[in-house]
Amino acid sequence: MFLLAFVLVLLVLLRLDAAYLRRQVTAELLVPDKPVIQGEDFTLTVRLRNRSRLPIPALVVLLNAADEWGGGQITLRCAAMLGGRVSSLTPQTIGSDKTGVWSIAVRGITLRDHLGVFTAACPAAVQSRSICVLPAAAAGKAKAETAPDEDGDEADTRAALGGSYELRVGASSTDIRLTAVVEVAGTGAPNPYAGKHLPHYTSGKVQSVPDDEWATLLGRPVQQGKVKIDRNMTLGELNHSRSPLCWLVWAVLTMLLNASYKRGKPNLNVMFQYNMPLRALAKMTNGAISMGMVDGIVLEAKGFWVIGLLKVIVEAVKNIILNAQLESRLRNS
């Protein structure tokens, strides 16, 4: 009786969890701002944002591409996993085989709760975007107007830096036979770094460029080397997680790796596992671990201890059932 009550309470909480998360998703559709040439691939991007503190383990976006001239339609599917208070860019590359004006819109966004039991449709509304696909003949005309020079660069985009250049000819870098100085007249292009404080960059001392100079050069703050907890996190980075179980896995792998170094014979298997991302567990275990179980491990690494373990258990049972069904179909085929 107690177990039944626990299951009912858990199901209600999961249903409320899905209902809460569905209203925390915002989406923005990004399309190329220039016409696309027929026969060339182009990329559609959906910028998804999770406004809640809870991670979203599975998010599926359906895109609808409609030909405004011919009436044809294409449905595209992309998926993502979002952490708490983060955004993600989900690209979708498609081929432009047919000319015309295409209208791109998000047809639907669905998510799953943290254990993958319930699904919920997100009410996020996205305005449609249009893309013009030009025929291949138009591309040839455009390329002819900006024909590249002999170096492969467009002639109107290059700038020559004036000054004295020394040419050296030799059998090797330590055996120079001939030298010559050539004066090059510059094009007078403006210095893009004029007025910016970049002493290390302009002097060539690139080994010790401070972060403030990098920020000035890039025009944005320098991204810090913070480990992101997601499917791409490696087993050797589990010490940055928030789970004692993950710390234990990292400690064992590190101990085995250091022991092999001391013996003078690196263990290649351990090195491979140490640098293997979590998503590879679903590909390297011969079906024993599914991607849903990997998502549960990610939740565990993010500090959702109980939810993460429950998801791993639920997904493990689902994986065993699906593997058994697949084996049965293969035997009977």
Question: Which DSSP string corresponds to 63-108?
Answer: EEEEETTT--EEEEEEEEEE-TT-EEEEEEEEE--S-EEEEEEEEE
* Per-residue pLDDT tens over the stretch 266-308: 888 899 999 999 999 998 888 899 999 999 999 999 999 899 9
- Write the CA distances from 202 to 3, 125, 165, 192, 221, integer angstroms: 70, 48, 17, 12, 20
Closest by Cα among 167, 171, 42, 30 to 106: 30
Global pTM exceeds 0.75: no
Pairing of strands 41-50, 25-30: antiparallel
Q: Which DSSP letter does residue 35 get? A: P
**Spatial separation of the C-alpha atoms in residues 54 and 299, rounded to whole Å:** 10
- Is 36 within 8 Å of 133 (Cβ atoms)? yes
Rounded Cα distance between 311 and 319, Å, is 12
Answer yes or no: are the C-beta atoms of 207 and 213 closer than 8 Å: no
**What parts of the chain have a pLDDT lower than 70?**
68-72, 124-127, 137-157
Tokens, residue 57: 């383990």
d(CA 57, CA 100): 37
Q: Where are the alpha helices (DSSP H) in the chain?
A: 2-22, 136-145, 199-203, 211-218, 244-263, 268-274, 281-284, 291-301, 305-332
Q: pLDDT tens across 169-205, in order?
A: 888 888 888 888 888 888 877 777 788 888 887 787 7
CA–CA dist 181, 168 (Å, integer): 9
